[in-house]
Amino acid sequence: MKTTLIIGAGGVSRVVVHKCVQNADIFGKIVLASRTLKRCQDIRDELPNAAIEVASVDADSTDEVIKLINSCNPSIVINVALPYQDLAIMDACIATKTPYLDTANY
In tens, the pLDDT along 47-69 reads 999 999 999 999 999 999 999 99
Region of residue 8 (left: phi > 0; alpha: psi -120 to 50; beta: else) = left
Domain borders along the chain are 3-102
The predicted model gives 6-20 an average pLDDT of: 96
Under CATH, domain 3-102 is a member of which superfamily?
A: NAD(P)-binding Rossmann-like Domain (3.40.50.720)
Q: What mean pLDDT is predicted for residues 72-87? A: 94
Where residue 103 falls among pLDDT bands split at 50, 70, 90?
confident
